[in-house]
Structure formats: structure tokens, C-alpha cells
Amino acid sequence: MKITYEFVTGEVSEAEVDERLGGMLLDLDRQQENNDRKETRRHFSLNGMDYEGELFASAEDTERAVEHREDMARLHSAMEALSPSQRELVEKVYFEERKITDIAREEGVSEAAIRNRLKKIYSRLKKFLI
């Protein structure tokens, strides 16, 4: 049986081998080809993907996201230090985006009273955040 080898340089060489050895070499080549096919089905090249697109975040975005997450965790822990009524006021002003005048009218107090409450809340939060 003749076995043909092609070298990297493009040179082709043929060798005469025993039938049994030739059969083993052909089986090994077939097994290698099957393994290569299996591996390409399971894996894909990162070169084919958009590196800065949806699949991968840039390092800057990741750093900013981590900082934001840490800031939010600190804010949540600082909010836990507030009384329930203070937390409720912060939620109304910042999360529900309600006007101070509307809150004051609803609670039956002056705008100045709400602003003073907010100042106390700011100073209390400042202790935890700075």
C-alpha cells in the first residue's frame, strides 16, 4: 500500500508500507479528522465575535459597573440607618420624584419643615457615605 505525505513546504512524498500498517495509519487519520470535527462543533473562535460588542464589555464599562454596584451597596446600607419615616421621605423625593411642596401639603406641614427633614437626612447619610 502506498501512503502519500505532504510536507509544509508543499513537497509530496510517497512511501510503500505494509497493508496492516497502512490500514492503521488510515484509521488514525480518520479518528483525527473525527476528533477535529467534534471539537469544532463544541467550540467557536473568539475571532469571529465582536470583541467590543454585546458579548464582551470593555474594561472601562466593567470598572464603572463595579464602582456603581459598590456605591449602590453603600447607599442601601446607609438607608438602613434612617428611620422608616425618613426612608419614606427619601423615596418620595428621589424615587417617586415628587415635589417638596406636594409632600408638605399632603403632610400638612410647611415646605421649610420638609427641607429641614431632608437636611437632617443628608447629614445622617453623609456620615455613612463619606
pLDDT grade for 21, boundaries at 50, 70 and 90: confident
What mean pLDDT do residues 28-53 have?
Answer: 71
Which are the contacts of 125, defined by CB distance < 8 A and separation ≥ 6?
75, 78, 79, 81, 82
Residue range(s) occupied by CATH 1.10.10.10 in the chain: 59-129
- Tell me: the pLDDT tens digits for 102-123? 999 999 999 999 999 999 999 9
- In CATH terms, the fold of domain 59-129 is Arc Repressor Mutant, subunit A (1.10.10)
Residue recorded with cell 469571529? 48
CB 118 within 8 A of CB 88: no
This prediction has a pTM of: 0.50
